[in-house]
Amino acid sequence: MRALLFLLASLGAAAPVSADVVVATRPISAMEVISPSVVALQEGTIPGAVSDLAAALGREARVALFPGQPILARHLAAPAIIERNASVAVIFDSAGLRIETEGRALGRGGAGDRIRVMNIASRSTLFGTIQADGSILVSP
């Protein structure tokens, strides 16, 4: 019985495993949001490649992608909601004190990213975290 289990296990391990990977169907520029028309599934096994179309759709390409190139998870990021030089609300919230002022984004990013922002009134540069509503939360 043990020999049979060993034989079955070795046969299963010897066969290469094949899965679908997401590939670009046309050139995709960096900072372009992935839509259904620019990607397709292709059979293959590539470590780190995205294997589900839904996981790629709506994400932003971090680098330029070429037709037939497998899309790796590290090639994608959340879409940017703040562009460089955009006017943003800067919020400081600590121990019951909340201060809001206008700032200028010195970088671009999506929700959860840390970027530099300049306070328009004082011209000082701060670091803050982009919130889902497009404001930037700075911490003490």
**pTM value surpassing 0.75:** no
110 belongs to a structural domain: yes
Same domain for 47 and 93? no
Query: Residue 116: inside a domain, yes or no?
Result: yes
Structural domain contains residue 30: yes
91/118 same-domain check? yes
Long-range contacts made by residues 120-126, C-beta under 8 angstroms, separation at least 24? Answer: 120/87, 126/90
DSSP 93-131: EETTEEEEEEEEESS-B-TT-EEEEEETTT--EEEEEE-
Cβ contacts of residue 85 below 8 Å, gap of 6+? Answer: 104, 105, 106
- Asked if residue 42 is part of any domain, the answer here is yes
Question: For residue 4, what pLDDT is reported?
Answer: 46
Whether 7 is covered by a domain: the verdict is no
Mark the ranges of the chain whose per-residue pLDDT is less than 70.
1-18
Q: Residue 5: what pLDDT?
A: 44
Q: Which of 27, 44, 77 is the last residue of a domain?
A: 77
Residue 8 counted as domain residue: no
Q: Is residue 10 part of a domain?
A: no
| Residues 43, 97: Cα–Cα separation, whole Å | 55
Domain that holds residue 48: 18-77
pLDDT value for 52: 86
The CATH number covering residue 109 comes to 2.30.30.760
| Number of domains forming the structure of the chain | 2
Indicate whether 5 belongs to any domain: no
Q: What is the CATH number of the domain that holds 31?
A: 3.90.1210.10
Model confidence pLDDT, tens digit, residues 86-106 = 999 999 998 889 999 999 999
